[in-house]
Amino acid sequence: MAGTTLISSLTFTQFADTTARIFYGGKDLPQVRDLSEAMSLTMVDYIPKQTGEQKVYDEIDGETYARYKAQGADASKTQVIAGYSKTMTVRRFAAEIDITQEARDYGKEAEVVRKLTSLATFCPQRMALDLTHRFTFAAATSYTDMDGESVDVSMGDALALLSASHTLTGTSSTYSTIVTGNPQFSQGGFEVARLQANTQILNNFGERRVLMFNTVVTGDDPSTLREVKQLLNSTADVDAAQSGISNVYAGQFRHVVLPRMASTATGAYDSTKAKYWFYVADGEFEFHLGIWEQPHLKMPAPSNNGEDPHNDNWTFGARVGYGICIPSPKGALGSTGLGA
């Protein structure tokens, strides 16, 4: 607040303007920077108003290859098959703070600014947590969140994101999204994931699909971060005793760090998930985020000076509404890092 009028001397309109400036600058605060990282892994839809509280995502597959056409012959007809679908439902989240008359009038400027700054972070931090928990709870089909609500994190085939037996609608074949052996991240573990990316991506006819796997997703476990950075940045083969050998993986994938990965449903640290890592075809992995209501500031009306007549408080709130779903796990492989 350096360089501005003291809180105690601001009119309600001026105070509301100051609050809005603090609130909308909150997206750049360190506490919420991981939201942009988490959102970078999603396909974001902005849902128009008056279009309902649900959106259905359908998986549709066609056959893979064109067929030979002899001179004068009819072209072969290809088949299209419905895959799995998932319905996204909006959930709203909110937070409020009260600015007391005493805080406004008695020079408690630092306290007021801290409250307003924290208000700006509540909704983005919840979005970051919920998006990250799609990886945190990748081995489950649901979990109970901090509000006591059951959250469905299953795929369209009713299995967890990480499953060894995902099904297809047009064939009895199955495929696995678990990196074999659940290794911790290393050059060897990464190569296992790369092999599976070549063999375990199938369409609903059971035909192999080629996706561009380009991203490694981890939490902030120090040893895991070191292994990833060494593989990305080393100028020599990371397993070689001699120097000067080219590291073929240098700069070959993007590394996304989600610091809330190793957490419980309430956001507390959970060491059992510290070694989780994922290999993702970003841009092709059907990880959908639907935003019905962007994080925004809710202010009292200026017509009555914004005061609660019972206690003289000015109440400011934050609101957001969004939904998350993954109809198909194709394009994501993961490891718990706990071994087989």
| Sequence-distant (≥ 6) Cβ neighbours of residue 147 within 8 angstroms | none
Looking at residue 252, what is its pLDDT? Answer: 87
| 91 CB-side CA count, 13 A | 18
pLDDT band at 3; cut points 50, 70, 90: very low
Residue 313 has pLDDT above 90, yes or no: no
Residue 32 has pLDDT above 60, yes or no: yes
pLDDT band at 1; cut points 50, 70, 90: very low
Per-residue b or e along 5-29, where b marks 16 or more CB atoms closer than 10 Å to that residue's CB: eebeebebeebbebbbebbeebeee
> Between 338 and 340, whose confidence is greater?
338
pLDDT band at 8; cut points 50, 70, 90: low
Residue 213 has pLDDT above 90, yes or no: yes
- Domain residue spans of the chain: 11-56+83-335
CATH for 11-56+83-335? 3.90.1690
pLDDT band at 23; cut points 50, 70, 90: confident
Residue 4 has pLDDT above 60, yes or no: no
Backbone conformation region of residue 111, classed left if phi is above 0, alpha if psi is from -120 to 50, else beta: alpha
Average pLDDT over residues 280-293: 96
pLDDT band at 5; cut points 50, 70, 90: very low
Residue 186 has pLDDT above 80, yes or no: yes
Average pLDDT over residues 202-212: 91
Average pLDDT over residues 288-308: 84
Residue 328 has pLDDT above 90, yes or no: yes
**Residue 255 per-residue DSSP state:** E
Q: Which two structure tokens, joined as six digits, stand for 217?
A: 């997703």
Owner of token pair 């350096």? 2
Contact 327, 321 (CB under 8 A): no
pTM of the model: 0.89
> Between 90 and 107, whose confidence is greater?
90
pLDDT band at 67; cut points 50, 70, 90: confident
Average pLDDT over residues 112-140: 92
Per-residue b or e along 79-90, where b marks 16 or more CB atoms closer than 10 Å to that residue's CB: eebebbebebeb
Continuous segment of H or E residues that includes residue 226: helix 222-233
